[in-house]
Structure 1
Amino acid sequence: MLEDGLQLVVEQLAERLGRSVIVDDPALRPLAVSAQLGQVDQSRIDAVLQRRTSDPIRAMITEHGLSQARGPVRIPANAELGTLPRLAIPLVDKGYHVGYLWLIDDPALTEEQVGEAVTCAAEVGGLLGERLAQETEETESTRRLVDDLLRPDAGVRERAAERMRDVLDGTAPYVVGVVRAPGDLRRLAGDVRRRAGRRTVVCGSARTELVLITRESRRDLVVRALRSAAPGSVIGLRGGVGSLGLVRDAGADARYAAEVAEAVTTFDGLADWADLGPYAAFQHLARTADGLERLCPGVSALWDGSHEMYESTIRAYLDHGANAQKTATALHIHRTTLYWRLANAERLLGLDLARGDDRLRLHMALTFADLVPIRHLSHGAAPDPDDRPSRHATPSA
């Protein structure tokens, strides 16, 4: 295997030079580490244990132009970061950076030793290039299978499901995920597969979103890999998928969960279709102003300029079970002010908040509005001039 060949080359170089050797991928994650020989600092230990390079070390490396280098780069010790001097050799294959080979440069490496390390780096670069080509071919094949699982043609889906069973380690139930993240989604797919295990998760449709399939038992592992690889990503999940032939429908559910996770801040960028609560009711309703009006005709007026105060008041009132005292306390206003606002809102919407049906329709519309762009049409408008308590009202609490 390529991994075994890479480890052997690294161990042999470390033995010849009498010091530790580490090989990183282009994202500065360790791919091969020799036994500890010679001096070692805490940053080296941390990189091996955590499988990543810390941000301060990355910044120091960037300052020395390593990402543009084609030959060895000596990086001096940094007392503030507690690092020893290092020799970094970019690993290049067919003109592309495929990683880095690192050596502790204390005592300083001789010219002969540097030459030996450069020769070894060329061999390692070839191995990593071969590994990358193999992964790319495998990834493209898997991506096509995932795409076929999402197609409308049932025959295409069934054939893809048969082939996918040999690719994905394990059997049902499965989890399907839809991921929205900035940057190169193909690179993200490879990153997640490396972090979670190549046969643990398959990825496809890396165009505007990433589609993932994994076993239910590997769900948390894959989510952690995603969070680490793309901290700003939005993830929608659909678990309990009984067969790979059902990936298409599950993907639609996961995509909707991702939409909810992106729109509703309480989900913190991660939503499971089974845990959407009231938002589950809106999956097949057009997430537009027209869809909002179907739930409660006239409700769009709440976002028309000066009426936004009524939207927040009614939302609080309904969220507190139409309990005026609890609502007034939550809004830090007097109950008389609350009643005045509610009366104005009723006139505006043509509803009677004493009627259960009207409250239900309005509450559903307000919940659905979290997913509709109409929420962003107006902000910071002045309150309605009619929204003032009577002269007999007690001042706001």
Structure 2
Amino acid sequence: MSDSPTPTAAQLGQIQTLVDSLASRLQRSVQVDTPAFYAFCSSPQYGEVDNARVFNVLHREPNPEPIPWLVDNGVQDSREPVRLPAHEELDLLPRLCVPLWDGERLCGHIWVIDSPELSDADLKVITSFREPIINHMVARDETFVRRVAEMREITRDVALGLDGSLAQAVDNNFLPRRGTIRVHQLTITEANNAHQEDAPERLMMELLRFRRRRPFLVTDNHDGLTIIERSESLDASQLLFDEFQAAAIAVGARIVSRGTSTMNELSGARNTARRASFMATVAALQGLESLTWEKAGAWRLLLGWELTRATVTALSPAASALLSEGSETLWRTVMEYLDNARNVTATAERLFIHRATLHYRLEKAREMMPANTLDDGWECTCLHAALRLHAALESTS
């Protein structure tokens, strides 16, 4: 487990004292935040104010919209202060960012409004506060470490459907009491081909540093995160994932795909988590950002199968014969024919070919497959699933 820290209450008080002192000397607003831009401490208001500061004060969390722009300007990589220009569309005043590094780990940032422009003397004052703030931020907080361990354990218990685990999660304010329970599996990689290998854990740690307005459960696994949340609507779920996307950008991680399944009395927790994981795999295979079990169609029939070329052969000997003996044009024609419920007119229109050409291709395909394959609905189901899997594998190779 990571030793990534978060300040204790006493340490927060000491950071707040430093922030207030710095703001008073500069006569400007100052904020210290985490690498994902969640505020640790903010000073009283001095001078001009912009949308970013107002949003932080009102919502107790960062506005996700400016985060990609901030990252693009190097605030996560630079070891030196970064001057950011005003951004009219985002309603941001010019500001100075002083990254706070403890060795090779970014602890957070100091932010100061840079209007009117800070002098060299001001910069010296700001940088003189950097080391004492870092010293308080890196002090290890056993409470946070215990919370991470507790979150991992209870998330896995709920995902496994252990008796009483869901009630325990609700009683400990890890999940709301009302709403639909959804399990999400996120596939996570390093952003920008970074050489680190702990992107899922870094993102989980950042998500757990501050209690959100709506609680959720999260644990990491070898290539992603399992998240369990309870919300009244799909729109509310999407708002939660907007926060996750912003946090991922901030910590240098990338959410490749998301699979989602809704928990109900028929599926149970264990099956729901299994379905969500499978949906993430299917989404990644098809190049989709997200896919829900409810909208996955016949892909659900392949739950439990490995999505490989061997599965194509095992599912349908007819597909195997067509793929080995026929051309790409033939197997794609058959797939389109099945996609259109064996409707000749619709298939010809989709392929922009004459009906006679379609009939010719289908006859050629029939010759390569076991007799009556295209006339047997049950066999066609296997053939269709196998060809769709083959097409998805082809697109990723």
1:197 corresponds to which residue? 212
| Identity among equivalent pairs (%) | 23
Alignment map for 1:285-296 (pairs within 5 Å): 285-289=305-309, 291-296=311-316
Is this contact kept in 2: 1:288–1:374, CA < 8 A?
no
Higher RCO structure (Cα 8 Å, ≥6 apart): 2
Is this contact kept in 1: 2:148–2:208, CA < 8 A?
no
Structure-2 separation of matches of 1:277 and 1:199: 31
Structure-1 separation of matches of 2:182 and 2:132: 40
The letter for the 1-side match of 2:274 is: A
- Cα deviation code 1:89-139 (max 9, x no counterpart): 33355874311112245454474x556544544453344335876434422
Match of 2:282 among 232, 239, 260: 260
- Cα deviation code 1:132-190 (max 9, x no counterpart): 76434422331233345556xx8xx4475565442513236422111112121011223
Residue 22 in 1 paired to residue 28 in 2? no
1:269 corresponds to which residue? 289
Deviates more, 1:136-145 or 1:339-348: 136-145
Gaps of 5+ in 1: 380-397
Residue 169 in 1 paired to residue 175 in 2? yes
Alignment map for 1:332-371 (pairs within 5 Å): 332-352=352-372, 355=375, 357=376, 359-371=377-389
Match of 1:185 among 158, 176, 200: 200
Is this contact kept in 1: 2:95–2:112, CA < 8 A?
yes
Residue 97 in 1 paired to residue 117 in 2? no
Match of 1:67 among 51, 61, 78: 78
Structure-2 separation of matches of 1:340 and 1:275: 34
- Cα deviation code 1:336-393 (max 9, x no counterpart): 21111111100100232662x2x442244323443459943999xxxxxxxxxxxxxx
Structure-2 separation of matches of 1:332 and 1:186: 49
Let me know the Cα RMSD of the aligned residues.
Answer: 4.2
The letter for the 1-side match of 2:385 is: T
Give the length in aligned residue pairs. Answer: 364
Q: What SS does the corresponding residue of 1:68 show, helix, strand or coil? A: coil
Is this contact kept in 1: 2:258–2:280, CA < 8 A?
yes
Q: What SS does the corresponding residue of 1:236 show, helix, strand or coil? A: strand
Alignment map for 1:271-310 (pairs within 5 Å): 271-289=291-309, 291-304=311-324, 306-310=326-330
1:388 corresponds to which residue? none
The letter for the 2-side match of 1:170 is: P
What is the TM-score normalised by the length of structure 2?
Answer: 0.73
Q: What SS does the corresponding residue of 1:189 show, helix, strand or coil? A: helix
Rg (Cα) greater in structure: 1
Match of 1:248 among 264, 270, 273: 270
Q: What SS does the corresponding residue of 2:362 show, helix, strand or coil? A: helix
Is this contact kept in 1: 2:169–2:175, CA < 8 A?
no
Structure-1 separation of matches of 2:391 and 2:341: 26
2:261 corresponds to which residue? 238
Deviates more, 1:163-172 or 1:369-378: 369-378
Is this contact kept in 2: 1:196–1:222, CA < 8 A?
no
Is this contact kept in 1: 2:315–2:382, CA < 8 A?
yes
The letter for the 2-side match of 1:169 is: L
Structure-2 separation of matches of 1:52 and 1:130: 31
Is this contact kept in 1: 2:283–2:289, CA < 8 A?
yes
* C-alpha distance 188-353 of structure 1, shift in aligned 2 (>3 A): same
Structure-2 separation of matches of 1:344 and 1:264: 29
1:386 corresponds to which residue? none
* C-alpha distance 178-354 of structure 1, shift in aligned 2 (>3 A): closer
Q: What SS does the corresponding residue of 1:370 show, helix, strand or coil? A: helix
1:329 deviates by: 2.0
Residue 225 in 1 paired to residue 236 in 2? no
The letter for the 2-side match of 1:142 is: M
Structure-1 separation of matches of 2:181 and 2:88: 47
1:309 deviates by: 1.3
* C-alpha distance 365-34 of structure 1, shift in aligned 2 (>3 A): farther
1:215 deviates by: 1.2
What is the TM-score normalised by the length of structure 1?
Answer: 0.73
* C-alpha distance 110-291 of structure 1, shift in aligned 2 (>3 A): closer
* C-alpha distance 286-369 of structure 1, shift in aligned 2 (>3 A): farther
Residue 376 in 1 paired to residue 394 in 2? yes
Residue 216 in 1 paired to residue 227 in 2? no
1:286 deviates by: 4.9
Q: What SS does the corresponding residue of 1:304 show, helix, strand or coil? A: helix
1:256 deviates by: 1.4
